[in-house]
Amino acid sequence: MTELNNLTVAEARDKLRAGEISAVELTEACLKAVEAAGALNAVVHHTPELALEQAKAADVCLQAGEAPDMCGIPLGIKDLFCTKGVPSQAASAILDGFKPEYESTVTQQLFDAGAVMVGKLNMDEFAMGSSNETSTYGNVVNPWRAEGDTTDLTPGGSSGGSASAVAADLCLAATGTDTGGSIRQPAAFVGITGLKPTYGRCSRWGIVAFASSLDQAGPMTKSVRDAAIMLKAMAGHDPKDSTSADLAVPDFEAAITGDIKGQTIGIPKEYRMDGMPDEIEALWAEGREMLADAGAKIVDISLPHTKYALPAYYVVAPAEASSNLARYDGVRYGHRAKLGQGDGITEMYEKTRAEGFGAEVKRRVMIGTYVLSAGFYDAYYNRARRVRTLIKKDFEDAFASGIDAILTPATPSAAFPLGQEFDDPVQMYLNDVFTVTVNLAGLPGIAVPAGLDKSGLPLGLQLIGKPWEEGALLNIASTLEDRAGFVAKPAKWW
Amino acid sequence: MSIDKETARKVAKLARIKVEDEALDALAEEFNAILGFVEQLNEVDVEGVEPMTSVTPMRLKRRADVVTDGDQQDKVLSNAPDAREGFFAVPKVVE
């Protein structure tokens, strides 16, 4: 019999409702898996008591026959989400000891739906990174290893703990957040599904802000169906986030019909990058064939400003970060530096921030400060925002021409060894080359595992949908998932 | 456009992050690498293009201007590194 923690959300839901298993049994299986997985460093704050308490409450609901879909489902929660009374530090030393007095809207909605939290998950500091190497808790390790090799690989970032935890079956699913690819790139690196919803679909209230015009929470799951189930519980209008959309939340799972006949899938020529590994090119071609075979029409399209997405992102995101991270001043929460004789408030700010922020966060805050400073605002920030308008228009033009969704590779490579790209920020930024356009345009995007490379590591494909049409996107993603038939799991070494 | 040591010092000051003098040259170099990458944006014709303010066309919601929350001093102060007598405590600001 399969271990309970290996179940998908959909499988567990059905077994829980049928009374075949209890939420407490399921939660205990996950807690046991978490305890045994210290080597992955995915779970950084363990909450077993809370989990069992939530599981018992879930069992009561289940017995009463009133259980929502997520009732009794053990989840991992990215450390970026504020969880009441549980450490929430965005993997930064500057939030050492911070225990929120409130619950983020997304986690509150999940808990209201009966979900169980097994713990808080590691990530890049303030979600800034693509390899989970900037965390104050240390690196997360990918459960996958290349065949015949014991080198530790990155799970990607910034939601690296979420990716590693789901791939290693420490929980059934996890929350992630995605500012430039932080759900989709790690999902692709560990062979799971990662969905970034349309900007505004999920409330950002109570999620530590990185770049507010780009940040969006989403599910990281073992299947496309699970992503649909979990998104429904996470999404919806929230008066506490003025950018959350006041739109009805559809039944995303019901949209998964497996029928994509007559849908038109665009293949953007600009995503064919120089130096892209042949295996990724081949996987992309296979993806096209799978969708065509399922009855979709495949069309070549152009998104002419693609090349400028990363440079625009590395102006807009640091600019917003420099503003958002101004709140970490050593006054209201977290770390405050020890002050010397005669130090005033400015020294307190400067020393606190120098000690509390890691190198990548400092780099981005200072870049953001520079591009927003007098004399450079127009040249950098306003120009980047204009380019962003053009990037969004590229997608609008494609959709207006009859395209229903766009198929691209998810990442330019498979997972790479920890330490390999860490010293070159610009090289690291290139990890998000296929995902960042989607954030700039506010669109939904999903990474689906589609194959293995020659060393046995997972590779993913990305589908990009129209705004607010996550249901249609999930349906196409599910078709791709079925045809790709990705069932591989990492061999347990931890 | 190239960032020198003095500009790096000024940016660190504006960002309120203490950077030791000997680290400024390396910092300036990092800035130049990133800004060099960003320079590509100058190739794009942005004449007449509006800078994006909101990625989804939306009108921000308004609510009645009334007190809806408050009376939570203990909670507000509970995470402060130094809180005294109901206030956040900081080093002397005004001489």
Q: What is the pLDDT of residues B64-85, one digit of tens each?
A: 999 988 999 999 999 999 999 9
Residue B16 lies in a domain: yes
**Closest chain B residue by Cα to residue A101:** B75
Q: What is the DSSP secondary structure assignment for residue A200, as one 8-state letter?
A: T
pLDDT at A26: 98
Q: Which residues pair with A469 in a beta bridge?
A: none
> Residue A1: is its pLDDT beyond 60?
no
What number of H helices and E strands is found in chain B? Answer: 3, 2
Report the C-alpha gap between A442 and B55 in whole angstroms: 6
Mean model confidence pLDDT for chain A: 97
pTM above 0.90, yes or no: yes
Amino acid at residue number A168:
A
Would you say A372 and A381 are in contact if contact means Cβ atoms under 8 Å apart?
yes
Confirm if A414 and A457 have CB atoms less than 8 A apart.
Answer: yes
pLDDT tens per residue across span B37-57: 999 999 999 999 999 999 988
Catalytic entry in A22, A158, A413, A478:
A158
Q: What is the pLDDT of residue A47?
A: 98
Residue A306, min C-alpha distance to chain B (Å): 11
Is residue A185 over pLDDT 90? yes
Among A140-149, A169-178, A412-421, name the one with the lowest average pLDDT. Answer: A412-421
Chain A hits for B69, CB-CB cut-off 8 Å, are none
Nearest-by-Cβ selection for A350 from B17, B43, B50:
B17
Rounded to whole angstroms, how far apart are CA atoms A486 and A460? 10
Any domain includes B15: yes
Cβ separation B49–A348 shorter than 8 A: no
- Residues present in chain A in total: 494
Residue B38 belongs to a domain? yes
Residue A96 CB partners (closer than 8 Å, separation 6+): A89, A136, A334, A335, A356
In a domain, B68, yes or no: no
- A460 forms bridges with which residues in the sheet? A449
Residues of A with Cβ-Cβ distance to B24 under 8 angstroms: none
Q: What is the per-residue pLDDT for A273? A: 84
- Closest in A343, A379, A426 to B91, CB measured: A343
Q: Please choose, from the candidates A426, A424, A423, A473, the residue with its C-alpha nearest in 3D space to the C-alpha of residue A445.
A: A473
A&B contacts, CB < 8 Å: 165
Give the largest Cα separation in chain B, rounded: 58
Q: What are phi and psi of A317, to 5 degrees?
A: -65, -50
Identity at A26, one-letter amino acid code = L
Query: Each residue of A95-133: b (16+ CB within 10 Å) or e?
Result: beebbbebbbbbbbbbbebbbbbbbbbbbbbbbbbbbbb
| Residue B1: pLDDT over 70 | no
User: Which residues in chain A are closer than 8 Å to B19, comparing Cβ atoms?
Assistant: 354
Q: Is A72:A58 a contact under the CB 8 Å cutoff?
A: yes
A365 → closest Cβ in B1, B15, B72: B15
Q: Check whether A262 has a pLDDT greater than 70.
A: yes
What is the reported pLDDT for A421? 79
Task: Supply B38's token pair.
Answer: 């960003």
Tell me, what's the pLDDT at A425?
Answer: 80
Average pLDDT of the residues in A396-425: 93
DSSP A150-178: ---B---SSSHHHHHHHHTTSSSEEEEEE
Judge whether A358 and A134 are in contact, CB under 8 Å: yes
**B5-14 and A359-372 helices cross at what angle (nearest 10)?**
100
Locate tokens 């505004």: which residue? Answer: A200
Longest dimension (CA), chain A: 74
What would the pLDDT profile of A4-58 be if each residue is shown by its tens digit? Answer: 999 999 999 999 999 999 999 999 999 999 999 999 999 999 999 999 999 999 9
CA nearest A123: which of A156, A151, A99?
A156
pLDDT at A66: 87
- Residue B19 in domain: yes
Contacts of A312 in chain B (CB under 8 A): 41
Give the total number of structural domains in chain B.
1
Say how far residue B9 (Cα) sits from the centre of its chain: 16
| pLDDT exceeds cutoff 80 at A2 | no
pLDDT of residue B61: 83
CB-based contacts of A213, cutoff 8 Å, min separation 6: A199, A316, A320, B52, B54, B55
Task: Assess A349–B contact: CB distance below 8 Å, yes or no.
Answer: yes
In whole angstroms, give the CA distance from residue A127 to residue A79: 10
pLDDT in tens, A285-299: 999 999 999 999 999
Show the tokens assigned to A50: 């809370």
The mean pLDDT of A269-280, rounded to a whole number, is 90
The answer to whether position B69 is within a domain reads: no
Is B49 within a domain?
A: no
Q: Are strands A264-268 and A405-409 parallel, antiparallel or unpaired?
A: parallel
Q: Which of residues 375-394 of A touch B (CB under 8 A)?
A: 379-380, 382-390, 392
Q: What is the residue range of B25's domain?
A: 5-42
- Look up A78 and say whether it is catalytic: yes
Would you give the distance in Å from CA A186 to the centre of its chain?
A: 7
| pLDDT exceeds 90 at position A221 | yes
Residue B29 lies in a domain: yes
The DSSP code for A381 is I
